[in-house]
Structures are given as structure tokens and as C-alpha cells.
Amino acid sequence: MKNYKNVFVFDHPLIKHKVSILRDKNTGMKEFRELIEEITTMMTYESMRNVQLVPVTVETPLEVTTQYRVPEESVAIVPILRAGLGMVNGVHKVFPTARVGHIGMYRDEQTLEPQEYYCKLPDGIENKTVFLVDPMLATGGSACDALAALKKRGCKNIRFMAIIGAPEGVSKVAEAHPDIPVYVSTLDRQLNENGYILPGLGDAGDRLFGTK
Ligand code: PRP
Ligand code: URA
């Protein structure tokens, strides 16, 4: 895969450790859900390194000082349904008051083309820092369309976070949306002929919600 300026792959040993358990087919639904949440929290910290802070005046027991805070009310989370739901609590651990919007996408299993079936976003989202989240970035179709949907509704400051990315999907999103930072915890080898990521972790939605 080419080097893209807007793509950030995490290389943290703790993330590697947790992703290795996540992939294991013997990891059950409860642990899978907890791991997705924990990895998302770690990714949220890392992805906020360059965030714009605002000065605030704080009175300590000893004196008045100028400190710096993230304007928390300026953050929104948008999971791509269904599997993105598993990442919402992970971002909420860092930004508990972030509003949540939802974009519903499913991949047509024959064509692998994404279909949008739902979109409900918080008022004022166009002025917020939006975390678009989905554990799996496979062909990149769902992420590309979800990003286009958010841009169409006026969002200007979006970051996309996926736990596992395939090179094909990462390249597609990076090229279609060069203005969007793309964070993936782990870059996998390739897609198989059915659009599944290898080595991957299987169907994230099914593993999160126990549907298969
Ligand atoms: C999965 C995943 C992504 C999409 C990735 O969702 O959660 O949304 O596939 O594939 P792509 O990069 O090729 O578009 P799926 O369509 O299985 O729906 P689900 O979340 O309801 O299980
Ligand atoms: N969606 C998933 O849940 N898993 C994959 O490997 C690809 C798309």
C-alpha cells in the first residue's frame, strides 16, 4: 500500500495484544464487545494528539491559573450501523457528553456495494468534531459513502476510525477523501473473494451482537 499522509496505523503493543484476542474465533461475544470498546478508547486518545485546546481559567486551592481543555460539547460520534455501535462506548469513555448520530449501511452480499438505509444526526453536527466509527474497513465502500453523507450534511471536521483495515479499503478512503484523517488500529493483509478481511476477525456485527 502507498504511504498516505491522511492514514495513521497504530503500532502500540497494547493494541496489538488486544487485537490478537479479538481475532481469535474462540473469543466470545461479551469479551469481543469489551475489547472493541477498549481498543476504541485507546485509539481515541491517540487520534486526539493534535486537537485544538481552548484556554480556561481554573482556581486551584493555591492560585488562579490558565489551563487548556478540549471543548467537549464540540464532539459527536457517528457509528456506521450495525457494527459501529460497538465503538460508541469506547469514544464515550473519553467524551461522555458527545452526541451520537447514526448512519445505517449494509453491504449487498453479492455486489459488496454499500446501501444507506438510515441517517439521523444531532442538530449542529456541522460545527462539531465528528468521530465516524466502524470496526471494519474492507472494500472501503461503506466508509466512503458514510463520509460523503456526512459532508453532504455540512460536516467539515471528521475523522474516521476503524479497528481493522484492509489495504484495498484504506487506499480507497484515503484517495476518495484526502481531507479526512483515517485511523486504523491494525492494517491487515488483503480481502478474500467475498470481501472479507484476511486474517481479519470474521463478521464484526455478528460477533458483537451474536446474530450467527
Ligand atoms: C460491515 C462493517 C462495515 C462494512 C465494511 O458491515 O461493519 O460497515 O461491512 O465493508 P466495506 O468496507 O466493504 O464496505 P455489514 O455490511 O456486514 O453490516 P453490519 O454492520 O450490519 O453487520
Ligand atoms: N465486514 C466484516 O464484518 N468483516 C469483514 O472482514 C469485512 C466486512
CATH number of the domain that residue 157 is part of = 3.40.50.2020
Domain assignment of residue 66, yes or no: yes
Q: Which atom of ligand 1 is nearest to the CA of 134?
A: 7
Which tens digit of pLDDT belongs to each residue from 85-134? 999 999 999 999 999 999 998 878 788 888 899 999 999 999 999 999 99
Residue 78 contacts residue 103 (beta carbons within 8 Å): yes
Domain assignment of residue 1, yes or no: no
Q: Count up the domains in the chain and report the number.
A: 1
Domain assignment of residue 98, yes or no: yes
Which tens digit of pLDDT belongs to each residue from 34-58? 999 999 999 999 898 888 899 999 9
Domain assignment of residue 76, yes or no: yes
Out of 11, 24, 65, 111, which one is annotated catalytic? Answer: 111
107 is catalytic: yes
Range of the domain at 81: 7-209
Domain assignment of residue 2, yes or no: no
Three-state secondary-structure class, residue 154: coil
Q: How confident is the model at residue 21 (pLDDT cuts 50, 70, 90)?
A: very high
Residue 22, classified by CB atoms within 10 Å of its CB into exposed (0-12), middle (13-18) or buried (19+), is buried
